[in-house]
């Protein structure tokens, strides 16, 4: 949790995060069952778990416009929210279930889309795994290492996919960025800057049921730090080919306390690798919807914005606009991908994989801990340094070993 009283704090949490062997005291790797691929054909039979996430509208809209997906059941404790959405998205009343277990048992979906609070991800995966139902979770996978490792364990044990969905995973600009780096045209990475966020969930008009948990530190793990810091956490992990960072530094503050009294609304995470640095700027205080990446390499730089926005620059050269190529068909969108992956028609994409998302959650959890362990240093007014004793000093670097049980 990143409580409001800790906002404005800064700390460095240096962590030992290399690819090391698991020590005898660490937990063993979760037993891996054979993946239980769906043998169904035709439209993907999908259940919706929770309708309190603002992204649920994207799925409901997709279902009205495409014939390759069919919603077979919707679970949420609130019938009122379902009834409000039903006319807009042509949802039959028979789709509603007030019990998750009843929905899963009655409809037997191939997969579910999880549109709950982040805290509820663990409980939902438990229920689905026992029944062999694959899961697509809205980002992030979790905000604590404990929950992430539990999800990994039960999903492997029961042979299901626990996939994580990020909007940026479907950007052609991001895919071309990775290709440019892997091809050697832009290599080696030295610095990555990620800017993700918007004006704020209240300011952009998120519905009340979404705001209720998004601004609750118990349900979301924090505010902007978790909500938008997760994008840079997964993208930096992917661009660095799964390399674990050597340290994580985090700051979090509340710029609009009257609007967000319980959580941060502006955060910065700095991640260091042996040969690169990543800066994650997550905010509910941008002037616009912001999802962009700047990558600096030995051979030049890349600016990847939303969807097809892409620019490159050679060393000391002018900025050049590029058009990224079309994505492979199985990566058209999250619902096409989900249908194909649960039926064994394509491999798991690394951006959604449990392996890379475990590292992304680790980064988020270490950032949250860094903020929670720090204290604020007050600035002394100019000219008062000699007469005013320092009230506090920055907290010393806090170091801790990281559990190696999920290193592969």
Residue 140 tokens, joined: 């992030």
- Per-residue model confidence as pLDDT tens for the chain (408 residues): 444 433 443 444 443 333 222 222 334 455 667 999 999 999 999 999 999 999 999 999 999 999 999 999 999 999 999 999 999 999 999 999 999 999 999 999 999 999 999 999 999 999 999 999 999 999 999 999 999 999 999 999 999 999 999 999 999 999 999 999 999 999 999 999 999 999 999 999 999 999 999 999 999 999 999 999 999 999 999 999 999 999 999 999 999 999 999 999 999 999 999 999 999 999 999 999 999 999 999 999 999 999 999 999 999 999 999 999 999 999 999 999 999 999 999 999 999 999 999 999 999 999 999 999 986 666 777 766 555 444 333 333 333 333 434 444
The number of CA neighbours under 13 Å toward the Cβ of 364 is: 36
The pLDDT value recorded for residue 376 is 62
Domain extent listing, the chain: 4-21+173-327, 44-168+330-349
Inter-residue contact 198 to 286 (CB < 8 Å): yes
Rounded-to-integer distance, Cα 404 and Cα 381, Å: 46
Query: Which are the contacts of 278, defined by CB distance < 8 A and separation ≥ 6?
Result: 191, 192, 193, 194, 232, 236, 245, 270, 271, 272
Question: Which residue, among 92, 114, 314, 109, has the nearest Cα to 213 in the 3D structure?
Answer: 114
Question: Which residue, among 116, 125, 117, has the nearest Cα to 157 in the 3D structure?
Answer: 125
Rounded-to-integer distance, Cα 398 and Cα 403, Å: 16
The pLDDT value recorded for residue 399 is 32
- Measure the CA angle with vertex 217, ends 216 and 219; round to 5°: 70
Question: Which residue, among 181, 138, 133, has the nearest Cα to 159 in the 3D structure?
Answer: 133
Under CATH, what is the fold of the domain 44-168+330-349? Rossmann fold (3.40.50)
The pLDDT value recorded for residue 375 is 62
* Best CATH choice for the domain 4-21+173-327 from the list 3.40.50.720, 3.40.50.2000, 3.30.360.10, 3.90.1150.10: 3.30.360.10
Query: Which are the contacts of 389, defined by CB distance < 8 A and separation ≥ 6?
Result: none
Residue 299 tokens, joined: 């051979």
The pLDDT value recorded for residue 379 is 75
- Distance (Å) of CA 323 to CA 220, 295, 299, 315: 36, 17, 19, 20
Strands 111-114 and 134-138: parallel
The pLDDT value recorded for residue 380 is 76
H or E element at residue 175:
helix 172-182
The number of CA neighbours under 13 Å toward the Cβ of 348 is: 20
What is the layout of strands, in order, in the sheet containing 44-49? Answer: 96-97, 69-75, 44-49, 111-114, 134-138, 162-165
Strands 266-272 and 247-253: antiparallel
Rounded-to-integer distance, Cα 120 and Cα 118, Å: 5
Locus of tokens 């993700």: 196
The pLDDT value recorded for residue 389 is 45
Tally of CB atoms within 10 A around 393: 8
Question: Which residue, among 157, 372, 104, 366, has the nearest Cα to 247 in the 3D structure?
Answer: 366
H or E element at residue 150:
helix 145-158
The pLDDT value recorded for residue 23 is 29
Rounded-to-integer distance, Cα 192 and Cα 25, Å: 35
Q: Do domains 4-21+173-327 and 44-168+330-349 have the same CATH topology?
A: no
Supply the DSSP symbol for 251: E
């Amino acid at each position: 949790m990143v409580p409001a009283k800790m906002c404005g704090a800064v700390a460095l949490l240096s962590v030992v995060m290399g690819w090391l062997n698991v020590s005898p005291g660490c937990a063993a790797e979760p037993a891996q069952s054979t993946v239980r691929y769906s043998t169904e054909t035709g439209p993907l039979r999908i259940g919706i778990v929770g309708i309190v996430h603002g992204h649920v509208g994207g799925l409901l809209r997709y279902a009205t416009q495409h014939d390759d997906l069919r919603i077979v059941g919707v679970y949420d404790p609130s019938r009122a929210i379902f009834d409000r959405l039903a006319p807009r998205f042509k949802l039959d009343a028979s789709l509603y279930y007030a019990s998750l277990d009843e929905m899963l048992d009655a409809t037997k979906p191939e997969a579910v889309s999880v549109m709950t609070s982040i805290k509820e991800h663990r409980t939902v995966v438990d229920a689905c795994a026992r029944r062999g139902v694959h899961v697509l979770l809205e980002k992030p996978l979790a905000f604590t290492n404990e929950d992430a490792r539990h999800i990994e364990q039960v999903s492997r044990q029961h042979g299901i996919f626990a996939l994580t969905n990020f909007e940026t995973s479907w950007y052609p600009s991001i895919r071309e960025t990775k290709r440019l780096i892997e091809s050697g045209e832009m290599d080696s990475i030295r610095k990555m800057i990620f800017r993700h966020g918007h004006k704020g969930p209240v300011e952009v008009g998120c519905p009340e049921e979404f705001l209720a948990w998004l601004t609750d530190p118990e349900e979301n793990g924090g505010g902007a730090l978790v909500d938008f810091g997760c994008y840079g956490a997964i993208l930096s992990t992917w661009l660095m080919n799964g390399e674990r960072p050597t340290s994580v530094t985090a700051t979090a503050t509340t710029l609009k306390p009257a609007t967000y009294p319980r959580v941060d609304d502006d955060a910065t995470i700095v991640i260091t690798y042996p040969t690169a640095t990543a800066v994650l700027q997550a905010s509910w205080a941008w002037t616009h919807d912001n999802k962009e990446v700047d990558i600096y390499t030995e051979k030049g730089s890349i600016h990847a914005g939303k969807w097809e926005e892409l620019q490159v620059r050679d060393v000391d050269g002018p900025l050049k606009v590029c058009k990224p190529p079309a994505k492979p068909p199985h990566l058209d969108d999250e619902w096409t991908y989900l249908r194909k992956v649960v039926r064994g028609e394509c491999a798991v994409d690394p951006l959604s994989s449990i392996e890379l998302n475990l590292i992304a959650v680790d980064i988020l959890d270490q950032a949250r801990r860094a903020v929670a362990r720090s204290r604020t240093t007050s600035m002394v007014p100019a000219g008062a340094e000699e007469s005013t004793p320092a009230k506090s000093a920055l907290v010393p670097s806090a170091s801790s070993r990281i559990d190696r049980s999920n290193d592969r």
